[in-house]
Structure formats: structure tokens, C-alpha cells
Amino acid sequence: MSALLAGAGLQELAALVLVVGLNAYVLTGGADFGGGVWDLLAWGPRRAAQRALIARSIGPIWEANHVWLVLVVVVLFTAFPAVFATLGIVLHVPLSLMLLGIVLRGSSFVFRSYGTSGGAGRARWGRVFAISSVITPLMLGICVGAIASGAVGAAAQRLPARGSVPAPSFRELFVDPWLAPFPVAVGAMALAMFAFLAAVYLAAATRDEKLRGDFRRRAIGANVALFVVSFAALWLAGSEAPEVRHALMHGPAVALQGAIAIAAVSSLGALAARRHPLARAAAAAQVTLILWGWVVVQYPMLLPPLHTVRSAAAPEVTLRLLALALGGGAVVLLPSLAYLYRTFARVEERGVDAAGRGAPGGP
């Protein structure tokens, strides 16, 4: 890591903030989406209790968790405006679908929790909540995969000048870069990752042994699925993203892969041993390392092959002010977040009924 950051300037700092913000989003907001996946897949005799636990753990925190994504977006367009513009152009379709998922997930969640409609209405919102919770991680991962593979940058280089007859077709420019096996595999990775995190967190969040068991088994299953799709992605990278594949197999990424393997084995081991807090830490470490694996492979490219962190960065003044703002903001933000999580660490102590109803109204 120190080698990576040698000679780092404000540009690298801004990029670091992006990654840290994305990392925080994945660990918090990502797990909220993962909760929705388990809502969709709720089965067995404790189906209702599973859903209630999911709703109660997400309730007070998902909006705050969601702001990490907003922060990543504003830092991206402030510090690397050209990259933001290019992503907006080439990834218009998957980003719009992701937004659709975000809007439907958030609104259906509150409609279900606070709606006055009866059980049928609730069930319908529950369905929307669950399905949109799948769309968003998938699209997010697809966008990441498309960026990493270099297809987005390549498509951007072929964008026709305005007014000229577009030589490449709509499909070549706006669909092919992301609707390809490798990006889709990365999308599946994101989905498995978020579902894995959610299951581990949920198992740790309840004291009901049976419910714990349900989520423990789900966590193990999700981690196995994550392993499988990661391998698929690695294999597909051979043809679609040879640079990614090469970088993964050489240099610092190899050590990182070793670390990921250790974290994965520890989280599985901790789950099997029912050490839930340990499992939570190991799962967070595993996912964090995967994300950093992408970063290490790609650095110093921000949007390969078009922009490096340096070439895409905004002027020095902007970066300096941004650093100040982020520093000042962090001073206010971090204690507030800690307070939020501390207040709601144990969901079952809260005075809400088992259906997760009536929370804001209080008992």
C-alpha cells in the first residue's frame, strides 16, 4: 500500500476518498440491499420472522447508509468531472436501471413499514422491495465490471463528435460495454457479496437461536456462491479483461488474493463455530479486500484506458477545498454515525412488535 501511495498528492487523496466511500457504502448500504435479497428468498417455517428481523435491522439506518453513495457521486463529479461525465454517457442504461432499483427499494420499504393498507398491500410492497433489492447490486456490479474491463473507456473513445453521423451503433456504444459476460459476472459478485454481508450481520443481530441458524446457513451458502462467481469472473476476464486478469495474477494483487482467501476461510470458520461477532469482522474484511483488489489492479487508472487519477483530476484549488470540506465533514459525521449505530445496535431490544410495525409511532 505504501508503494501505491508514494508521491501521493491531492489527486490520490480524492481517489482514496472515493474508494473509502464506496467501501463504506458496500459494507453498510450494500448489506441493506442484501437484506432485501433475503426477504425475497425468505423460506422455511420462520419466513415471517426472518422478514421482520430484516425490516427491523434496516429501518433506522438505511437512509444514512445510503448517503455514502451520494457522497461518492458528489466527490466523483467534483474531483474527476470528466470521469463522471463519461460514466453518465456510456453507462446511461445500467445506471438508470440502478436508480430505478434505488427508488423502488427505498419507497416500497417505507410504504410497507408505514402503510395503512392490510396484509395484501404489505405483501405486494414486500415483493417490490425484494426485487428492487436485487436489481440495484447487480447493476452496480455490472457498472464496476464494465469500468474495470476497459470497455467503458474504449466506448467513450469512439463517441462520435456531436452532429456527425454516429458511426458505431447504439448497441456498440451504449449496450455492449456493460451487457457482456465479465461485467455480468461482476454484477453477480456484488449481489453475492451484499447477500453474504447481510446474512452475517443478521445472524449477529438477533438472539433467537433458530433465526440465527437460518441466517448462518444463508451466510455460508452466499459465501460459497461468491466464491463460485468470483472464479467465473476471473475466468471470463481472460478474454474480456486480459489486463485485469494479468494484474490479478502478478504483483501485489497476489498477496491480496491470499488475504482474501484467509478472510473467507475465517468468516466461514467463525460462522461454523457460531462466533458471530468474529464472523462479522471477517466478512467485512473479506468484502473490503475484494474491493481493494479491484483498486490495486486498476491503479493508477481511474477509467481505463482513458483516464488516470492524475489526468482526470480537477484543478488543485478544487481538490484542496474538497479535502478541507471532507475533513471538516468527517469530524461531524463520524461521531454522529457512531451514535446512530450504538443506539440501534441490538434490534430486538427495541419496543416494536414482531412484524416490525409501528416503530416510528412508538409503543
Partner 1 sequence: MNDLLAARTQMALSLGFHIVFAEIGIAMPLLMVLAEWRWRRTGDPALRELAHRWAKGTAILFAVGAVSGTVLSFELGLLWPGFMRLAGPLIGMPFSLEGFAFFLEAIFLGVYLYGWERVSPRMHLGAGLIVAASGATSAVFVVMVNAWMNTPVGYRLAANGALADIDPLLAMRSPAAFQQILHMLLASYAATGLAVAGVHALMLLRGRGSALHRHALTIALVIGAPAAVLQPLSGDISARVVATTQPVKLAALEGQWETVRGAPLRVGGWPDAAREETRWALEIPHGLSLLAYHDPDARVQGLRDVARADRPPVAVVHLAFQVMVALGSAMALVALAAGWAALRRGQVHERRWLLLALAVVAPFGYLATEAGWIVTEVGRQPWVVQGLMRTEDAVTPMPGLIVPMLLFTLLYLFLGAIVVALMTSLVRETRPA
| Separation between Cα atoms, residue 8 and residue 173, nearest integer Å | 34
Number of residues that bind ligand HEM (CB under 6 A): 4
Compute the distance between CA of residue 151 and CA of residue 153 in angstroms, rounded to an integer. Answer: 5
DSSP-derived secondary structure letter, 349:
G
Pick 7 or 315: Cβ nearer partner 1: 315
Q: For residues 60-79, which are near ligand HEM according to CB under 6 A?
A: 63, 66-67, 70
255 binds, among partner 1, ligand HEM, none (CB under 5 to 8 A by kind): none
Residue 257 interface partner, choices ligand HEM, partner 1, none, CB cut-off 5-8 Å depending on type: none
Q: Give CA–CA dist 79/319, Å, rounded.
A: 6
Residue in 4, 19, 81, 295 binding partner 1, rule: CB under 8 A: 81
Alpha helix stretches (DSSP H) within the chain: 2-5, 10-25, 31-40, 47-58, 62-79, 81-90, 92-114, 119-148, 151-157, 170-174, 181-205, 209-240, 242-249, 252-272, 276-298, 309-312, 316-343
Q: Which residues on neighbouring strands pair with residue 301, listed in sequence order?
A: 308
149-168 positions binding partner 1, by CB under 8 A = 159-160, 162, 166
Q: Which secondary-structure segment (H or E) carries 302?
A: strand 301-303
For the chain, give the number of residues.
363
CB of 326 to ligand HEM, least distance (A): 17
Min separation Cβ 36 and ligand HEM, Å:
17
| CA-based nearest residue to 111, from 127, 125, 128 | 125
Residue numbers 208-247 binding ligand HEM by CB under 6 A = none
Interface region with partner 1, contact rule CB under 8 A, candidates 38-46, 109-117, 260-268, 271-279: 109-117
Of positions 100, 131, 262, 278, contacts partner 1 by CB under 8 A: 100
**From 3-11, 66-74, 283-291, 300-308, span contacting partner 1 (CB under 8 A):** 66-74
Answer with the entry of ligand HEM, partner 1, none that 157 interacts with (C-beta below 5 to 8 A by kind): none
Task: Report the nearest approach of partner 1 to the CB of residue 286 (Å).
Answer: 26
Binding to partner 1 in span 312-341, by CB under 8 A: 314-315, 317-318, 321-322, 325-326, 329, 332-333, 336-337, 339-340
Residue closer to ligand HEM by CB (options 67, 110) is 67
The C-alpha cell of 254 is what?
A: 497476489
Phi, then psi, of 20 in degrees rounded to 5: -65, -40
Choose the stretch contacting partner 1; rule: CB under 8 A; options: 67-75, 186-194, 228-236, 274-282: 67-75
Peptide bond into 315 cis (omega under 30): no
Amino acid identity, position 186? V
